[in-house]
Structure 1
Amino acid sequence: MKLSVLDQSVALEGQGEDAAIRDTLALAEQAEALGYSRFWLSEHHGMPTIVGTAPEVLMAAVAARTRRIRIGSAGVMLPHYSALKVAEQFRVLEALAPGRIDLGVGRAPGSDMRFAQALNPLAHGAAEHFPEQVRDLQAWTSQPSHRGLSAHPLGAHAPELWILGSSDYGAQLAAHFGLPYAFAYFFMDGQGVERALELYRSLYRPSERHPRPQATVCVWALAADSAKEACHHALSREHWRMERQRGRLAALQDPDLVAAQGLRAEDQPALEAMRAKAFVGDPAEVATRLRALAAALELDELVINTWAWHPGVRQRSYALLAREFALEARAA
């Protein structure tokens, strides 16, 4: 089984937001050295926690620092933009890193509607045109000309287009266009994943580039040398999720501070439900659960998203999982 990475450039309390971007670059270099297959970057706007706002820019920096790993967006929120402009951006990226570019696109705004309106003054109702945008983007990234227009630069390789989603809608759209599909398992702790993948596979219409369905899911996972240590570092994200439910967003907090303050008693039911589905523990435990999920969903690739207040803890988690899955040996 292959493992890949989704990084969201998470801001850490006590550090500047710009440091999160540099942490992303360091992680990309490590992920390649460890044998991960892909390194994907998200797009969010107006958030004090997830500060990766321009995946296409960051992808260029990652391309300059790596040689083998595939680099992708997970994703570009297409209703904000012109499909032709996105095609041109990713053709430039393909020229920088031939045969290594993934173009993941989503329909969600990646923020609230105020930011959607600011990013695209014509944003009202733009999501309704998402299927047409995907059609045009698929053509401009795979054909020399579409609608009498060409997206340059042309080359021997073309970006690989993915549809991202966390509902049945994206699954059905990916199936209709014959495109790979990635389900955001970590959004809702896997709720709806079986149904989405069933729809995707049963409705799939083969395309020239993808004669068979190709699916993956992105999960949040954290491994440490001991289960106790992993659970401690997971407190940062647990605290963030509880605060988000109360409408409070902030940079990720130090788990030592979270542990000292304690989590609210009224949060315990939600925390217990979250922890029951979490991929948190020692390396063997996390790897066992990941393999079980992949087997249940009939997947040969998983994308791992990891948050930790200490960058070294996050890097250690990816290294431990790479060792459990023997990624380095296979890459070599």
Structure 2
Amino acid sequence: MSLALSVLDLAPIAPGQSAGESIAASVQLAQAAEEHGYRRVWYAEHHNMPHIASSAPAVLIAHIGAQTKSIRLGAGGVMLPNHSPLAIAEQFGTLEAMYPGRIDLGLGRAPGSDEATTYALRRDPAQSAQFPEDVAELRAYLAGQSRVPGVAATPGSGLNVPLYVLGSSTFGAHLAARLGLPYAFASHFAPQQLRAAVVSYRNEFRPSEQLAEPYVIAGVNVVAADTTEAARESFAQVQRRFATGLFGRGRTFTEAEVDILMQTAAGQHVQQMQHYSAVGTPGEVRSYLEEFQREAGADELIVAHQALSTPARLRSVQLLAEAFEGAGV
């Protein structure tokens, strides 16, 4: 697969599924991604979301690393305001010591939760303002050049785990450019500022020891299936579940109520969030992603395979890889 494709896995908990079954499905997904030539699999930190089991990315990576052989694994990302830079340096230094040359560390500025959950995490909401300083402190720990006298990350010091700045606005683009780090844009759920952010990042980029030239990863949703109808039906189910989780406040909806919800502004909002979505047969998905890569100005695409069932996600992983192998790109 010569087009750089990776996987973003939120460890979704399907209807009737336990968290343990979701995590087992994530192992299968990573193994399938490795088998089919994807570059990396990332896990995103989310809290207080009953349908997502990726609240502890470092733990998930440790588990999946033991059951894969070569594919890169990382956080996409750790929400740094929720943690001390030293703790993250130690966690990902430990992972790098366990799986040398396979670990990525993507860093986000958002808390990954609501206000009540931020309180439960014992974090100060204002901590997001310290994000640039926290990234610099974390980077120094991993380089073995601690900014805190007498404090070193063990494991972690000198291991230089590669850092990535994540964002859904131009803030992260400016920071990644200034620090000379790769930039990953969350266009799979926040499409509005993709173009502006990428342009800013490329124009302002300053080379660093980690990276000589700008490098952009763009997120995109994918549902590849054997027929267009099957892919569209699968994606519709995902959107319905996403809408009820986002706006339902813990309520249980009937199918008729979900139908009504999807016709409201809430349903339209979900569709706008998932604007960048490749849904269809392998050929249809390949054409969409080729155009999206050009439009986004991305060096790599990170794909969220959107389907409720594990077999459907695994099939999407396989079909997408086969589509690009067949295209010779």
Question: Could you tell me the TM-score, scaled by structure 1's length?
Answer: 0.89
Who is 2:174 aligned against? 172
Residues matched between the structures, number: 322
**Equivalent position SS for 1:65:** coil
Which position in structure 2 is the counterpart of 1:49?
Answer: 51
Q: Is the 8 A contact 1:79 1:109 kept in 2?
A: yes
Change (3 A) 1:245 1:65: closer
Which residue of the other structure, out of 53, 65, 68, is the alignment partner of 1:66? 68
Compared with structure 1, are the counterparts of its residues 231 and 205 closer, same or farther at alpha carbon in structure 2 (3 Å cutoff)?
same
CA distance in 2, matches of 1:178, 1:218: 20
SS in 1 for 2:49: coil
Find the aligned partners of 2:272 and 2:8 in 1 and give their Cα distance: 24
Separation (CA, whole Å) in 2 of partners of 1:50 and 1:179: 28
Which string of whole-angstrom CA distances, capped at 9 and with x for unpartnered residues, describes residues 74-123 of structure 1?
A: 11111111101100111110011111110011111111111112212x41
Deviation at 1:211, TM superposition (A): 1.5
- Following the alignment from structure 1 to structure 2, what is the Cα–Cα distance between the partners of residues 289 and 41? 24
Tell whether 2:207 aligns with 1:210.
Answer: no
Counterparts of 1:126-141 in structure 2 under 5 Å?
Answer: 126-141=127-142
Classify the secondary structure of the residue corresponding to 1:138: helix
Residue aligning to 2:39: 37
Deviation at 1:10, TM superposition (A): 0.7
Amino acid at match of 1:325: F
Deviation of the 1:155 alpha carbon: 7.6
Partners in 1 of 2:240 and 2:249 — Cα distance?
A: 11
Q: Does 1:324 align with 2:323?
A: yes
Change in CA separation of 1:249 and 1:182 when aligned onto 2, cut-off 3 Å: farther
Task: Give 1:92's aligned residue.
Answer: 94
Cα shift readout 1:163-196 (whole Å, capped 9, x = no counterpart): 11101111111111111110000113x2110000
Query: What is the 5 A alignment of 1:1-332?
Result: 1-120=3-122, 122-148=123-149, 149-153=151-155, 157-188=159-190, 190-244=191-245, 246-248=247-249, 263-264=259-260, 266-267=263-264, 270=268, 277-326=276-325
Q: Which amino acid aligns with 2:280?
A: G
In structure 2, how many angstroms separate the alpha carbons of the residues matched to 1:25 and 1:172? 35
Q: CA deviation at 1:230?
A: 0.3
CA offset digits 1:214-236 (Å, max 9, x no partner): 11111111010010110111122
Q: Is the 8 A contact 2:182 2:214 kept in 1?
A: yes
Q: Gaps spanning 5+ residues in structure 2: where?
A: none
Unaligned runs of 5+ in 1: none
State whether residues 143 and 158 of structure 2, in contact with CA within 8 Å, keep that contact through their aligned partners in structure 1: no
Provide runs of 4+ in structure 1 moved above 4 Å: 154-157, 271-277
Q: CA deviation at 1:281?
A: 0.7
Aligned partner of residue 210 in structure 1, secondary structure: coil
SS of 2:213's equivalent in the other structure is coil
